[in-house]
Structure 1
Amino acid sequence: MCHFKKCTMALVFLLALGLNTLCLADTIKMKYSDHDPPGGMRTDFVKNTWLPEIENQTTGQVKIQEFWGGALMGSKEILKGIGDGVTQMGFVYPGHYPGQLPAHTILKLFPRGPSKFENMVWFYRKIYAEVPEFKTELENANVMTVMFTAGLPGAFTGKNPLAGIDDVKGDKWRAGDKWGLRFLENAGAVPVSVPWGDVYMALQTGTIDGCFTNYDGLHLMKFDEVAPNLLVSKSLWYAMPFLHLINLDYFNGLEENVQKGILKASEIAEQKFAQTYEKAFDQVMSEQKAAGYTVTEMSEADIAKWENADKLEELQAIWVEEAEKAGLKTAATVMAKVKAIHAEATAR
């Protein structure tokens, strides 16, 4: 009898050990890398909503190891890092890869756009579906988009009073890319290129008088502390999408139920991000006003001046010419298709 009990207990132990080993084998460990630190609108959303939702929709099968603030890779290394499998997932800002993602750079040539995130993501999904050059660029890098987010609209933060767009004239202003600098130049400002990490000091020392960038970014980086005059509008969408990517080969190698779980989690998160986006804009403005900063909302006339329809057409033609020279032979077709879809998105 004693011998029977010992055998039974040993069998139970071995079964438990086997089940535990099976569970461990079924656990999928994935890395997520982000060059921004937690504490911002997007990073907090990714950390507290999207990544937990992936674990939830895969019933705990996927476990994600997070790397923030460029701890694993910087913003200009991450696209290759995801494609090479150094990390399975990560955040990519397409503007940092004009050579590899030339089609994506077109979005900087649309300074006015949808004010609601649900219409922005509709636009992004539609151009990916109807303009194959966007997906092809990512596939060539061995990545695919699983979720879109976006920065808050572009905003002006200046050391000098900003009653309207004319007040940038003659002052030294920074933007993050050549197209933004061209828009500043067209508005009468003196365009200056300054690395993102040096902007606060440049404002503080007077190297520049102002900075045009996404509203949440300038507040997170505290540019408004040293340049407390703000000019804002929800119409000045930050057109370049924020891409949350996964290694394409890795994704294709996952079981179908895990793939579906990741995509479902991303769909749910995108819908939730619309509320986060709206609240964040109002929160930034409220905090700035509470701090005593001067926040002015742009008039329709100012928005039209910034967009500068005549100059905009010239810049779009320049983009087509440069993109064709860079190897995107269908650049004119891409421009025509994106223009049409952008008009639809703006009218929604």
Structure 2
Amino acid sequence: MNDKNAADHRVKMTRRLAMALAAGMVLSTAWIADGKAQTVSSSPRVLKFSDHEPLGGMRTRFLKDVLFPAIEVESNGRLKIEDHWDGEIAKAYDALGAVSGGQVTDMATVVPEYTAKELPLHQIFKGFPTGPSGSRQIEFLQRVYAEVPAFPEELEKNGLVHLFFGTGYPVAFYSSQPMENLDGLKGGKWRSASFWHLDFLRNSGATPVTMHWGPEIYDALKQRTLDGLMVNVDSGYMLKVHETAPNVLVSKDLWLGHVYILAMNKSVWDALAQEDRDAIRRAGEKSYTALGPVMDASFDNQLKDLKAAGATVRSLTLEEVNQWEDGIGVPGIQSKWAEDREADGINAKAALDAVSSIMADFER
């Protein structure tokens, strides 16, 4: 893809993202218009925030355009967010340490997959191949934290307090060759980053491949040393995987489980006045009402962008998704993971059972 086409694609994504975020931005504007920000503190408490991704995707723009303004409004200007993006303060794998120490940043986006040692139980989220999307996905995560104390406790052990859940797009399968359905995984070499997804691929009859995320994936697909990629649909698009693997199978029911936790240093949280802690909680709850529709609209727009870029995109039926899930031995994979964690002294079985029970309430 030449520079002009790449720029055109970025423009299209930006326009579609702006449309998807409109509802959330209108909501935050309505709060301000409602008069909640009439009394503004002359010297607000500035909270420093760090994110490893650039400002521009659905998740990052939502934080910037909806959640952070809501925090300022709900606190009547007593709190202000100083936001830093694209790993300016801390890279993805360093985020937990940066915020837990309290010296580098007050708040940060923490991704459990990058910190499996510190957050072992949080790895459970990626252990489900299917799950809810949109607002129901947020409802699921909220229920887990409310009903399974081990999750917020695991954060607290690392000096963190959870403020807000962010999630990514659902999983997509990018194939270099035409693939009618997920039976086409058999015999191919497929790349994924998650250890859970590598097991899902293996039990689908594929040869799982681990590779660094970068241009080498694009090159491997082009050279046919790699047949496909199992990844969230937007990451594949941004890496231009669709140019060499233009056959895409996707579904909103293909659960990514890649949870982005907006966390605050616990000492910073404890030092805030109760009215400011309450304001942050209110801002989060009100922002969630806009997040579900934004996630749904952004997903639909992402598929339109892929098709416009020349990819062949097919949405799998719920029956197809369920059939694939039933055939890859998920209970055995989960049980083996829990047994290994138990051997390390982690009470993983109880947490897995509790999360599985909640997930069952969200079955399609």
Coarse TM-score class (shorter-chain normalised) = 0.7 to 0.9
**Against the structure 1 CA distance between its residues 204 and 67, is the aligned structure 2 distance closer, same or farther, given a 3 Å change threshold?**
farther
Aligned pairs for 1:260-271 within 5 A: 260-271=278-289
Contact between 2:200 and 2:328, CA under 8 Å: does it hold in 1?
Answer: no
Contact between 2:48 and 2:107, CA under 8 Å: does it hold in 1?
Answer: yes
**Against the structure 1 CA distance between its residues 308 and 63, is the aligned structure 2 distance closer, same or farther, given a 3 Å change threshold?**
same
- Provide the secondary structure at the position in 1 that maps to 2:100: helix
Aligned to 1:226, which of 244, 247, 257?
Answer: 244
Unaligned 5+ segments in structure 2 are: 1-39
| 1:123 CA displacement | 1.3
Q: Which residue of 1 aligns with 2:24?
A: none
For 2:239, give the aligned amino acid.
M
* 2:160 is the alignment partner of 1:146: no
* 2:177 is the alignment partner of 1:170: no
Q: Which residue of 2 aligns with 1:302?
A: 320
Aligned to 1:246, which of 252, 255, 264?
Answer: 264
Aligned to 1:128, which of 114, 121, 145?
Answer: 145
State how far apart, in whole Å, the 2-side matches of 1:110 and 1:334 are. 14
State how far apart, in whole Å, the 1-side matches of 2:211 and 2:178 are. 21
What TM-score, normalized by structure 2, do the two folds share?
0.84
- Provide the secondary structure at the position in 2 that maps to 1:308: helix
Q: Which residue of 1 aligns with 2:178?
A: 161
For 1:80, give the aligned amino acid.
G
Contact between 1:104 and 1:240, CA under 8 Å: does it hold in 2?
Answer: no
Aligned pairs for 1:247-286 within 5 A: 247-286=265-304
For 2:150, give the aligned amino acid.
E
**Against the structure 1 CA distance between its residues 143 and 188, is the aligned structure 2 distance closer, same or farther, given a 3 Å change threshold?**
same
State how far apart, in whole Å, the 1-side matches of 2:285 and 2:273 are. 19
Unaligned 5+ segments in structure 1 are: 1-21
Q: Which residue of 1 aligns with 2:54?
A: 37
Q: Which residue of 1 aligns with 2:3?
A: none
Q: Which residue of 1 aligns with 2:254?
A: 236
Which of structure 1's runs of 4+ aligned residues deviate more than 4 A?
A: none
Aligned to 2:87, which of 70, 80, 83?
Answer: 70
State how far apart, in whole Å, the 1-side matches of 2:72 and 2:111 are. 24
Root-mean-square deviation (Å): 1.8
- Provide the secondary structure at the position in 1 that maps to 2:139: helix
Aligned to 1:52, which of 56, 69, 76?
Answer: 69
State how far apart, in whole Å, the 2-side matches of 1:187 and 1:212 are. 12
User: For 1:286-323, what per-residue CA distance to the aligned partner results, in whole angstroms no more than 9, with x for missing partners?
Assistant: 11112221001223453134313561111011011111
Aligned pairs for 1:101-112 within 5 A: 101-112=119-130
**Against the structure 1 CA distance between its residues 203 and 40, is the aligned structure 2 distance closer, same or farther, given a 3 Å change threshold?**
farther
Aligned-pair identity in percent equals 35
Contact between 1:54 and 1:262, CA under 8 Å: does it hold in 2?
Answer: yes
What TM-score, normalized by structure 1, do the two folds share?
0.88
| 1:32 CA displacement | 0.9
State how far apart, in whole Å, the 2-side matches of 1:110 and 1:30 are. 35
Contact between 2:185 and 2:204, CA under 8 Å: does it hold in 1?
Answer: yes
Contact between 1:128 and 1:134, CA under 8 Å: does it hold in 2?
Answer: yes
For 2:336, give the aligned amino acid.
I
- Provide the secondary structure at the position in 2 that maps to 1:196: coil
User: For 1:155-202, what per-residue CA distance to the aligned partner results, in whole angstroms no more than 9, with x for missing partners?
Assistant: 111211121111122221111111101111111111110122343343
| 1:266 CA displacement | 1.3
State how far apart, in whole Å, the 2-side matches of 1:200 and 1:268 are. 40
State how far apart, in whole Å, the 1-side matches of 2:74 and 2:324 are. 43
Larger-Rg structure = 1
